[in-house]
Chain A
Amino acid sequence: MSASWSITDDVPSWGVALGLGLGALALVLLWFELRRGGRFGLWLFITGALATALLVLAALRPVRVVSRGSVVGPRVVVLLDESRRLELLDGDKSRRERALAALPEIAARYPEARIDVLGFGEGPLRKLSLSAGEDPEERLGRTTASDLASALSELLEETGERPESVVLLSDGRLTRPESGREQSTLAAEHGRLGAPLHVVSVADQNPKDASVRAVRTAGAAVAHQPLTLTIEVGCEGLSCGDIPLTVRELRHGTEPALLASGVATIREGQATVELKLTLDRAGDRILEVAITPPVGDTIPANDRRLLSFNVARERIRLLHVAGRPTYDVRALRMWLKSDEAVDVVAFFILRTNDDDTQTQSDDELALIPFPVDELFKSLPTFDAIVLQDIDAVRYGINPHLGRLAAYVEAGGGLIMVGGGSSFSAGGYASTAIERVLPVTLSDADQAVDGAEFVPRYTRAGSAAPLLGGVRDLFGAELPTMTGTNRVGPLRSGSVVMWEHPTLRAGGASMPVLALGEYGDGRTIALTVDGTHTLGFSQFALRAAGRGYGALWDGLLGWLMREPRYESVRADVGPCIAGRRATLKLVTLPGDPVKVTVEIIPLGPSTAPLRAVESTIDADGVAEVELGALPAGGYSARIRTGDGPATRHDFACEEGGAAWADSRPDPARLAAIAKASGGALVTSRAIQQLPAAEATVVASERHVSAWLPPWLLTLLAALALGAHWVLRRRSGLV
């Protein structure tokens, strides 16, 4: 219990000030009056002062406050760094083990305290219930970052009781506050928090380690444009010297491609190397940045980083090769040229050896030789290739078809458009390009079929976003085609968008428009030569000729993996080898749909590591558990319903960003403690932490008047009367 006084209970502070001010003024005036001299001066002052004081007290009515309360132990908040970095060893124990071992010691240091253990790293603070009997390792998070600044901000925003002390358990290699900004960031937070931030260092030994500490780029990665990687390599406790460094791109179905290499010459424990490289393919690309560490490296997991680059495409560079000029060629060329985002390199065969130009010299002609060798040797510079009605044998393309298949395998896009010299009729059957196309070809079959027909949408074609533009314009209708190239059955994993209403291939309707994937690349087979009638014909008139652009927007967009033409959007968050990974899928809301996800390691083997089935719910969202994956690059091949597959490349790292710099940072911890008015101790000296004061909790409060107001008023009147009498006698009145 505690008792105290208060000058008033119900008069506002301005009233208190006014009353005291008037009382003081009355005393001053009395003092000046009595200075002139006279009888009873002392008694006059005493009675005047007494009367004034009693009047003021009668107006303010002082009270006595009696509080009954209890004292509870202080609230102490322990901020435990949940970064995976704390899994690194410090001597014979991991930093995390040291942090967990410190918790009971903290509890012992503050026996009366109410201790909250909060995990911080990324996102909101997590309250950790580390009761006895449970394995705390299993309950802790595994974050990449260690964001102390956000953790303190969240602590400040808490309603309720503020802590008397905050204890930080970390190794100091924090993400935020940034190094050197501890004072500016934490001083203000400390002022608002009103509690010291004590720091317990859980590591003090630098491991013997060489690592890729950081990889930075200046600007975004753009296909075909040089990109500079700034790579920071660190080395501690080893014979470091020169450390070889390589950058490779992990690719689907083939060996990784070496993009750049260099040497990091270590000085004062670190080196920075700039490597210039060019990525030819847009979309998700997985780069491996790896060092060859010196002997004795104790943490091999951080010798390589697997980084996902979203390579943008500034423009599409497309090669359009046509065997003869037709209205179909015209339509495609005019559409390609109308698109500012497409750089077209076109070669049309305008003259063959059979043509009689009626000229004396080629100087009369505006013709150039078809640079077939030159073109097909520079395939990687193109994002997509359109082969339209061109005979592979006659025009010398045959020897380059292996190169063309390799180009697709490495991520290029290929469209074969129908015509009298396309597919089997163009000599492509039984060549390397056949295995790349989404349909099979055969020498034995009739190469073309000349009967008119109207292609028919398949179920997949009716739902595929890439044909959404055409469907919006014409519904399920398509124009009449005057024939088609004959192709064989669909290749496994490919999907048909349009099919022939009568012709059969392998027991199913013959594909007319089919999509496929091969290696890193995508291919499209369009077996007709009349899609230009979507742009110019009586049929096209219904949509003012916009049908052709709508079709090719979709085809080229799908080929180039434009997200708007993919069935789903996919994302795997940070993936750590050996830990459960989750693939998040988002598509348009609708009926629940089954989804199949195949996880294929990037590399020469294209065999799926595992296949997982799930369902996308009515909101268009699914979270697919992929299980634990070994370190490496992966392709998630996602197929929803009957639609074309979507691919998402991602990487799982063993060390990742959290392990990139394995050194503890005690200097940083000291700076944090200093900036926030706390103490720095090691995990072996927890008892040196400063004490925390107990918290008094008021539970009851009684207020009573010091004297009844009437009595104060009466006493004031009596004092005033006495003063008046004395004044009369002294002759002042």
Chain B
Amino acid sequence: MSLVLPRRGALAALAALLMTPRQTRAFGQVGAFQVRLLQTGSKPPEGLRLTGAERWGWELMRRTSAPARLLTKVVAADEPALFDEPFLMWSGEGAGAPLSAPERRGLAQFIQLGGVLVVDDWDPDGGAFSAYARRELAELLPESSPLPLRSDHVVYKTYYLVDRARGRVEGPKQIEAIVRGGYAQVLFLRHDLLGALARTRAGGWAFAVEPGGFMQREYAVRLAVNIAMYVLCSDYKDDQVHVAWLLRRGAPFSP
């Protein structure tokens, strides 16, 4: 596989450099995918994993036709900017403080408007953040419980054909999700996806993948691309025309 930066990648990087702090969006950019990190409590997410959000957008632009914005943005659950875009990543390490009432209200409205929230644990083995986030979301959405997404769910085929979820760690095979109106709106990962995508200033990968291997990181990137495509296209790849074609081609998944 080529590691040479293709032309689109170079353009994307240039676009990221040119992006002003005020985030003025050019025509055609308002609908671009952006990984926005959710801040709850007073402490914003920090660390090298934030570069994983930029890398996520960069990989999306490099590999697909989807536009993306590469500047990492942190948005608080109780600020109006929460509703600027329909995608949020809520990730961290260890249990946090219970959500305040404005944070609960903001997140509830985000979900009700149709936003997609991906929850990921930077310490999947410990699982404290996952447990904390699940607990908070269970109070927020008491009528919906997380369910495993079957291997034929569209999120596994929105762009790449992915047989299981992978991140920095191999983690559980299936993604769990809260499904509302037939649409998986809250995805629960225990794979440290941002960790797999994070880069150092020197340009190398920030964290080693476990159990290891070049392909594990590649599969993590593919999962990230698929999640972005799921956010942008919803169940497009479940359309009968695609299913029929892929079945004719003998795609490795069952309908």
Contact = CB atoms under 8 A, between A and B. Distances in A.
A365 B160 contact: yes
B233 A540 contact: no
A450 B27 CA distance: 5
A570 B81 CA distance: 48
Given A333-B233, A351-B64, A482 B114 contact: no
Interface residues of B, number: 56
A324 B26 contact: no
A350 B113 contact: no
Interface in B84-112: 84-86, 109, 112
A333 B234 contact: yes
A323, A350, A530 pick with most chain B CB within 10 angstroms:
A350
In this complex, the interface size class of chain A, counting residues with CB under 8 Å from chain B, is: 35 or more
B80 interface: yes
Given A327-B30, A363-B249, A541-B109, A357 B114 contact: no
Contacts of B6: 354-356
A348 interface: yes
Interface stretch (B35-43, B130-138, B142-150, B240-248): B240-248
Interface string A509-550: 000000000000000000001101101111011001100000
Given A325-B233, A329-B233, A354 B7 contact: yes
A366 B160 contact: yes
Contacts of B8: 354-356
B237 A366 contact: yes
Query: Chain A interface mostly helix, strand, loop or mixed?
Result: loop
A635 B239 CA distance: 38
Interface in A535-592: 535-538, 540-541, 544-545
Contacts of A656: none
Contacts of A450: 26-27
Interface string B115-146: 10000000000000000000000000000000
A482 B232 contact: no
A76 to B, nearest CB: 73
B84 A537 contact: yes
Contacts of B241: 345, 368
A481 to B, nearest CB: 8
Interface string A333-349: 11001100000111011
Given A363-B251, A482-B25, A538-B83, A529 B232 contact: no
A358 interface: yes
A484 B27 contact: yes
Interface string B48-80: 000000000000001111110000000000001
Given A337-B234, A354-B8, A541-B83, A326 B67 contact: yes
Contacts of A449: 27
A533 B160 contact: no
B150 to A, nearest CB: 16
B31 A328 contact: yes
Interface in A353-407: 354-360, 363-368, 389
Contact of A364 (B30, B32, B160): B160
A358 B2 contact: yes
Interface in A479-520: 481-485
A366 B251 contact: yes
A420 interface: yes
B27 A356 contact: no
A537 B83 contact: yes
B84 to A, nearest CB: 7
A356 B30 contact: no
A420 B32 CA distance: 12
A354 B231 CA distance: 22
A419 interface: yes
Given A358-B2, A366-B160, A420 B27 contact: yes
Interface in B214-255: 218, 221, 229, 231-237, 239, 241-242, 245-246, 249, 251
Given A529-B27, A540-B113, A349 B80 contact: no
Nearest to B240: A345
B246 A532 contact: no
Contact of A482 (B27, B64, B183): B27
A205 B241 CA distance: 63
Contacts of A326: 28, 31-33, 66-67, 232
A540 B80 CA distance: 12
B172 interface: no
A435 interface: no
A482 B233 contact: no
A330 B2 contact: no
A239 interface: no
B86 A327 contact: yes
Nearest to A451: B27
Nearest to B232: A325
A448 interface: yes
Interface string B169-192: 000000000000101000000000
A337 B238 CA distance: 12
Interface string B17-32: 0000000011111111
B1 interface: yes
A448 B242 contact: no
A687 interface: no
Contacts of A365: 159-161
Contacts of B33: 326-327
B26 to A, nearest CB: 5
A529 B7 contact: no
B158 A544 contact: no
A356 B28 contact: no
A333 B81 CA distance: 24
A325 B161 CA distance: 18
A356 B234 contact: no
B45 interface: no
Contacts of B113: 535-536, 540-541, 544-545
A483 B26 CA distance: 7
A189 to B, nearest CB: 61
Contacts of A614: none
A298 interface: no
Give the interface centre of B80, B233, B236 by most chain A CB atoms within 10 Å. Answer: B236
B157 interface: yes
Contacts of B31: 326-330, 419, 529-530, 532
Contacts of B233: 325, 329-330, 333, 348, 350
B114 A358 contact: no
B207 to A, nearest CB: 20
B27 A364 contact: no
Given A323-B65, A357-B63, A536-B113, 15 more contacts: A324-B67, A325-B65, A326-B28, A327-B31, A334-B183, A334-B234, A344-B239, A346-B239, A350-B66, A355-B62, A355-B65, A358-B218, A365-B160, A483-B30, A540-B113
10 residue pairs, one from A and one from B, having the closest CB atoms: A483-B27, A326-B31, A420-B28, A325-B232, A327-B31, A366-B157, A328-B31, A324-B65, A368-B245, A482-B30
29 contacts: A324-B67, A325-B64, A325-B65, A326-B67, A327-B85, A329-B31, A329-B232, A329-B233, A337-B234, A348-B233, A350-B65, A350-B66, A351-B64, A354-B7, A355-B6, A355-B63, A356-B6, A356-B62, A358-B2, A359-B1, A366-B158, A482-B27, A483-B30, A529-B28, A536-B113, A538-B81, A538-B83, A540-B83, A540-B113
Interface of B: 1-2, 6-9, 25-33, 62-67, 80-81, 83-86, 109, 112-115, 157-161, 181, 183, 218, 221, 229, 231-237, 239, 241-242, 245-246, 249, 251
